[in-house]
A and B are shown apart, each in its own frame.
Chain A
Amino acid sequence: MTEIDAKTPMEKLTIGGNIYNAGNAREFKTGDWRSMKPVWIEEKCKQCGLCFPVCPDNAIPVNGDKKRMDYNYDYCKGCGVCAKVCPFAAIEMKQE
């Protein structure tokens, strides 16, 4: 599919706004919707693995050793689910 942006004329747009490929949600950075921000306190984190499965936006990257890394704030909307499930108070919600 050809690239579509705000300059694309109507004749070149797909009908109904259809998107003829997959995995493009990452092109839409939604992190700026956030008003609260989770902060990861690495010293307290035991890498128990409870936080990243509950993130609705896959905003907690996990490395090859199955360890979580710091937030990807491009997509984190600050819902706070990760802070709620953390048993070790290693995630703190702060005003943006």
Chain B
Amino acid sequence: MSIRERLSGNEATAIAMKQINPDVVAAFPITPSTEIPQYFSTFVANGEVDTEFVAVESEHSAMSATIGAEAAGARAMTATSANGLSLMWEMIYIASSLRLPIVMALVNRAVSGPLNIHNDHSDAMGVRDAGWIMLFSENNQEAYDNMLMAHRIAEHKDVQLPVMICQDGFITSHSIENIQLESDEEVKNFVGKYEPEHYLLNDKEPIAVGPLDVQTYLFEHKAQQAEAMKNAKKVIKEVAEDFEKWTGRKYEFFEKYKLDDAEIAVVCMNSTAGTAKAVIDRLRENGVKAGLLKVRMFRPFPSEEIAEALSGLKAVAVLDKADSLNGAGGALFEDITSAMYVNKKQVPMINYVYGIGGRDTTEKQIESVFADLTEIAQSGNIGNPYRYLGLRKEEN
């Protein structure tokens, strides 16, 4: 039986961590994820968890301590944002290459500079090739639910990869919304015990973790990581099915909102999906066949499935909340257009970079995207495929 509550995204994440009760949490405060370790340290102080909380001196140390704990055989977690993740960057790759199933809450924020503490996805996009599983969450409920599923995915013997649960800084992390929580006991049963096969503190089996990996081996070890990432798709699906049986809440690689009979659609991640849904509902009332594809699983990337889901559309706009600054398109756009090309699906497609540095993304702006899509669907003329949404410019 679910418990009705009202919580912010950070509170929901901290409560998920409390219910998971990991062996170690090592974290350093950074806006907008600060509250997660803050609330969690209160649970530690009050004896509500028996976690070893390590108040480290930097994010590099936070990830290092998490890696050390996980390699020792503990279940270890952390949380961060933006420049905190940047400071972890070196250790982010160590975590995934050592195949340590660490779980991290990433509260998305613009990577400075110029200095900005507000939401966009530039932090997450900066580690998209780092070998972490990356799940995105539209709201507090999804941030909580994804967190409850994370360990089962990360620790699965065919995966053994770290997982990052993303949510939008402030928009989701600091907004209080209704939420359904599950009971401590049921969460504990669902998440299960962590029983690694090999770990440093096993006195029956002395091992070396992270030895020098010369030309003879690194290539194969990287290919193993890629293989594990492919295996993760199956595991993410299975865990979501179990989760649905338990809670009734359904999670897939991506959410299709009124997409099946749609003619035009937007693709986005995290909280903007909520705004897009409101716009789509209104457009539908006016007979516009608009839809949404909300990407939940960004790594591994469900290329084939997304290409299939978008194949019947007349025009698609991909919304990137981070600019790759390559003059050609955002990261999500490039992944999706590649997916379409490789799977031989030809749909007119445009890219909007939007919401940078916490810029509000309004229903009106999303409406304008659908208006552009309607025109493209009619004329077949894409024009400039690389656009901005909500950017101030001199009138031409």
Partner-B contacts on A (CB < 8 A): 6, 8-10, 13, 15-22, 24
Interface SS of chain A: helix, strand, loop or mixed? loop
Contact yes or no, A10 B198, CB < 8 A: no
Contact A13 B211 (CB under 8 A): no
Shortest CB-to-CB span from A79 to chain B, Å, is 19
Q: Which of A18, A20, A21 has the most CB of B within 10 A?
A: A18
Question: Can you report 19 A-B residue pairs in the complex whose CB atoms are below 8 A from each other?
Answer: A6-B216, A9-B220, A10-B220, A10-B221, A10-B223, A10-B227, A15-B221, A16-B98, A17-B210, A17-B211, A17-B213, A18-B98, A18-B210, A19-B207, A19-B211, A20-B198, A21-B207, A22-B207, A24-B208
Select B217's contact among A17, A20, A22, beta carbons within 8 Å. Answer: A17
Q: State whether B220 touches A18 (Cβ < 8 A).
A: no
Known: A6-B216, A13-B221, A13-B224. A19 touches B208 (CB 8 A): yes
C-alpha gap A17/B214 in the complex (Å): 10
Complex contacts, B47 vs chain A, CB 8 Å: none
Q: How far is the CA of A18 from the CA of B208 in the complex (A)?
A: 6
- Chain B residues in 8 Å Cβ range of A20: 198, 205, 207
Determine the chain A residues whose CB is within 8 A of the CB of B206 once the complex forms. 21-22
Q: Are A16's CB and B205's CB within 8 A?
A: no
B209 part of interface (Cβ distance < 8 Å): yes
- CB B219 to nearest CB in A, in angstroms, measures 8
Known contacts: A10-B223, A10-B224, A13-B221. The answer to whether A18 contacts B207 by CB under 8 A is yes
Cβ–Cβ < 8 Å partners of A10 in chain B? 220-221, 223-224, 227
With both chains docked as a complex, state the minimum distance between the C-beta of A23 and any C-beta of chain B, in angstroms: 8
Q: Which residues of A contact B18 (CB under 8 A)?
A: none
List of A residues within 8 angstroms of B223 by Cβ: 10
CA distance A13 to B220 in the complex (A): 8
Report if B99 contacts A (CB, 8 A). Answer: yes
Contact residues in B for A9 (Cβ distance below 8 Å)? 220
B80 interface hit (Cβ, 8 Å): no
Judged by a CB distance under 8 angstroms, whether B97 is at the interface is yes
B40 to A: closest C-beta gap in Å: 28
Cα-based distance from A21 to B205 in the complex (angstroms):
7
Q: CB within 8 A of B221: which of A16, A19, A21, A24?
A: A16
A75: shortest Cβ distance to chain B, in Å? 16
Task: Find chain B residues with CB under 8 A from A15 CB.
Answer: 99, 160, 221, 224, 228
B265, chain A: closest CB distance, angstroms: 39
Chain A's closest residue to B96 (CB) is A16
Given the interface pairs A10-B223, A10-B224, the reply to whether A16 lies near B217 with Cβ below 8 Å is no
Contacts A10-B223, A10-B224 given; indicate if A16 touches B209 (C-beta within 8 A).
Answer: yes
Point out the residues of chain B lying under 8 angstroms from A21, CB to CB. 205-207
Q: Within 8 Å CB of B224, what residues of A? A: 10, 13, 15
In angstroms, Cα B150 to Cα A43, docked, is 67
Closest residue on chain B to residue A25 by CB atoms: B208
Query: Which residues of B are found within 8 Å of A8, using beta-carbon distances?
Result: 220
Complex contacts, B98 vs chain A, CB 8 Å: 16, 18
- Given contact pairs A10-B227, A13-B220, A19-B207, a sample of 11 additional A-B residue pairs in the complex whose CB atoms are under 8 Å apart: A8-B220, A10-B224, A16-B97, A16-B210, A16-B221, A18-B198, A18-B210, A19-B208, A20-B205, A21-B207, A22-B207
Q: How far is the CA of A20 from the CA of B200 in the complex (A)?
A: 10
User: B221 to chain A: which residues have CB within 8 Å?
Assistant: 10, 13, 15-17
